[in-house]
Amino acid sequence: MTFIKPFFYSFIPAILWWLFVLVLLCTPGEDLPKLGSWTELVNFDKIIHIFIFGLMAYLFMKPIAQKVISQNSKKKIFLKITIAIALWGLTTEFIQDFWIEGRSFDLWDFAADSIGAFAVFVLSKRLF
């Protein structure tokens, strides 16, 4: 007897990553490690945002890429995932601004979040 895992299970890595990122973004400012002044010169914070939201997009797109559906359908779903992740980035900025001590709204963080998600969307044809 073979066990076929439900499709939902393939999203577990993406959901766990989403939760991990949520915890990171909801960590009070004074609890975050200080990286040093050199990181400000290269906007290291923005690179981190691009990476974590790009990885989130990848992890949510991967199970869809493995489904047997048309390329056009996959592209539409990938675009919806991309937009949802970009909007989640915007939402986290408001969460930080209104509810997390020592954190504030940063439009450039939202831009970096969106760039990460859209970069994976653009690369999705090669990635998948």
> How confident is the prediction for the chain on average, in pLDDT?
91
Tokens 């359908």 -> residue: 73
Q: How far apart are CA 9 and CA 14, in angstroms?
A: 10
Per-residue model confidence (pLDDT) at position 40:
59
Domain ranges of the chain: 11-23+41-127
Closest CA to 89 of 54, 124, 44, 42: 54
Closest CA to 105 of 117, 113, 96, 114: 96
Per-residue model confidence (pLDDT) at position 55:
98
Whether the predicted pLDDT of 5 surpasses 90 = no
Q: How far apart are CA 16 and CA 18, in angstroms?
A: 5
- Residue range 88-102: mean pLDDT, rounded: 95
Predicted TM-score of the model (pTM): 0.88
